[in-house]
Amino acid sequence: MTRIYVGMSGGVDSSLAAALLLERGFEVTGIYMKNWSQDLPGMKCPWAEDLADAKRVAVQLGIDFKVFDFEKEYKHYVVDYMVEEYKAGRTPNPDIMCNQEVKFKLFLAAALADGADAIATGHYARVRCEESRCAIHHYPVSSRGAEDGVDDSTAQCTKAFLCVAEDHDKDQTYFLYRVTGEALATTLFPLGDYTKQQVREMATERGLWTADKKESMGVCFVGSVGMRDFLGQYVKTRPGDIIDKATGSTLGRHDGAIFYTLGQRHGLDIGGGLPYYVVGKDMAKNEVYVSTNLNDTAMWRRELTLGQLQWIDHVPSDSAGLTVRLRHRGALLPCILSGTVVKLEEPERAPTAGQSAVFYLHGNCLGGGIVA
Q: Is 107 left (phi over 0), alpha (psi -120 to 50) or beta?
A: alpha
Q: What is the pLDDT of residue 273?
A: 84
DSSP tag of 215: P
Task: List every span in the chain annotated with CATH 2.30.30.280.
Answer: 237-291
- Spatial distance between the Cα atoms of 101 and 108, rounded to a whole number of angstroms: 10
pLDDT tens figures, 35-68: 999 887 777 888 999 999 999 999 999 999 999 9
Q: Which residues pair with 368 in a beta bridge?
A: 310, 358
pLDDT tens figures, 246-304: 999 999 999 999 999 999 999 898 977 899 999 999 999 999 999 999 999 999 999 99
Q: Which residues pair with 253 in a beta bridge?
A: 241
**Alpha carbon 273 to its chain's center:** 37
Cβ-contact 292, 274 below 8 angstroms: yes
- Spatial distance between the Cα atoms of 19 and 59, rounded to a whole number of angstroms: 11
Catalytic residue status for 129: no
Catalytic residue status for 220: yes
Q: What is the pLDDT of residue 205?
A: 98
- Band of pLDDT at residue 139, cut at 50, 70 and 90: low
Residue 260 CB neighbour total at 10 angstroms: 22
- Band of pLDDT at residue 220, cut at 50, 70 and 90: low
Q: Which CATH number fits domain 237-291: 3.40.50.300, 1.20.1740.10, 2.30.30.280, 3.40.190.180?
A: 2.30.30.280
According to DSSP H, which parts of 206-291 are helical? 227-231
- Mean per-residue pLDDT over the chain, rounded: 91
Find all residues with CB under 8 Å of 116, minimum gap 6, and list them.
3, 4, 5, 29
Cβ-contact 176, 187 below 8 angstroms: no
Side-chain-side CA neighbours of 312 within 13 Å: the count stands at 29
Q: Is 354 left (phi over 0), alpha (psi -120 to 50) or beta?
A: left
Which residues of the chain form beta strands (DSSP E)? 3-7, 27-34, 64-69, 118-120, 126-128, 161-163, 187-188, 240-244, 250-254, 277-282, 287-291, 300-311, 323-325, 333-338, 341-349, 356-361, 364-371
Active-site entry in 98, 134, 157, 365: 98
Taking CA atoms, 155 is separated from 112, 137, 158, 190, in Å, by 17, 10, 10, 20
Question: Class assignment of domain 3-205?
Answer: alpha beta
- Spatial distance between the Cα atoms of 94 and 91, rounded to a whole number of angstroms: 10
Q: What is the pLDDT of residue 146?
A: 41
Which residues of 228-332 form beta strands (DSSP E)? 240-244, 250-254, 277-282, 287-291, 300-311, 323-325
DSSP tag of 229: H
Q: Is the pLDDT reported for residue 187 higher than 60? A: yes
Q: Is the dihedral of CA 171, 177, 180, 183 positive or negative?
A: negative
Residues 283, 285, 288, CA angle at the centre, nearest 5°?
A: 65
- Band of pLDDT at residue 228, cut at 50, 70 and 90: confident
Task: List every span in the chain annotated with CATH 3.40.50.620.
Answer: 3-205
Coil, strand, or helix at residue 103?
helix
- Band of pLDDT at residue 155, cut at 50, 70 and 90: low
List the CATH code of the domain at 299-371.
2.40.30.10
The closest alpha carbon to 320, from 366, 362, 364, 368, belongs to 362
Task: List every span in the chain annotated with CATH 2.40.30.10.
Answer: 299-371
Active-site entry in 129, 163, 220, 365: 220
